[in-house]
A = this chain, B = another copy of it.
Amino acid sequence: MQAQELPIDPQAIRELIRLGKYDGVTGGLAPGYVQANLVILPKYLAFDFLLFCQRNPRPCPVLEVLEAGNPNPILTTPGADIRTDIPKYRIFRKGTLDEEVGDLNSFWRDDLVSFLLGCSFTFESALVESGIHLDHWDNNKNVAMWKTNIDCVPSGMFRGPMVVSMRPIHHSNVTKAVQVTSRFPGAHGAPVHIGDPKLLGISDINFPDYGEPANFQDGQVPMFWACGVTPQAVALESKPDFMITHAPGHMFITNKRDYELASL
């Protein structure tokens, strides 16, 4: 199935994904609903990873944690199954990508703890709805991302640099962009930096570490937000024996509406 043939209801989309009828990216699907990053780790690492998220809430906003062996995200998405309802997964062993699979049925274990983490789609929708144009939305590109010189606060084996995404925003909208995204701490929240990329250790704004470079218009300022690539990158760098994530762009679609995450 193609993305444009899909229904707009999150439950109906997840059912088609579960049946193997859709395995594409989820950007733009179920508009208005929160999408989530997935990290699955064995229980013996779960406290350290949860504490890492608590210490680094901007890059690692926790939406829900599924206790060991539970595949059902009953708090955000009753009826869903984390093992089958994402279009594509990645299996990592000792920090190395071993395979990409369509479901987790043959990989599931009773000691696996699943973390659903907030995603920038939520705050980007809020920016666009507030009248702020986003270059990568208008031009159907991936956002530009960099590793920075900001170290995350470590926890146990988990440590590493914060990854940020950058959006060019017209200087007259900078304050509004801070206000709008501040309302969504569950989706990375307020920016971590506005202005000079060199202060983050970024040497060339035209060469991102991940994603695609952005086009700047006259009067636009670079604004940097903590990025959901951080927890996966950090978890991977620590080379856990076993770890599962969603494949990039293939997110978990929750039943929560974006504005249910709003803090004010």
Q: Which residues of A contact B (CB under 8 A)?
A: 43, 46-47, 50-51, 54-55, 62, 65, 67, 75, 153, 155-156, 182, 185, 190, 263-264
Contacts and interface: CB of A to CB of B under 8 A. Distances in A.
A147 to B, nearest CB: 23
Contacts of A65: 51, 54-55
A54 B115 CA distance: 12
A59 to B, nearest CB: 16
Contact of A263 (B75, B156, B182): B182
Nearest to A64: B55
Contact of A185 (B67, B153, B263): B263
Query: Which 10 pairs of residues, A with B, have the shortest CB-CB distance?
Result: A47-B47, A51-B65, A182-B264, A50-B50, A46-B47, A54-B62, A50-B51, A47-B50, A54-B65, A75-B153
> What is the total number of copies of this protein in its complex?
2
Given A51-B65, A67-B155, A75-B153, 13 more contacts: A43-B47, A46-B47, A47-B47, A47-B50, A50-B50, A50-B54, A51-B67, A54-B62, A55-B65, A55-B75, A182-B263, A182-B264, A190-B264
A46 B263 CA distance: 27
Please indicate which of the listed interface residues A43, A46, A54, A190 has the most CB atoms of chain B within 10 Å of its own CB: A54
Nearest to A44: B47
A103 to B, nearest CB: 26
A116 to B, nearest CB: 12
Contacts of A55: 65, 75
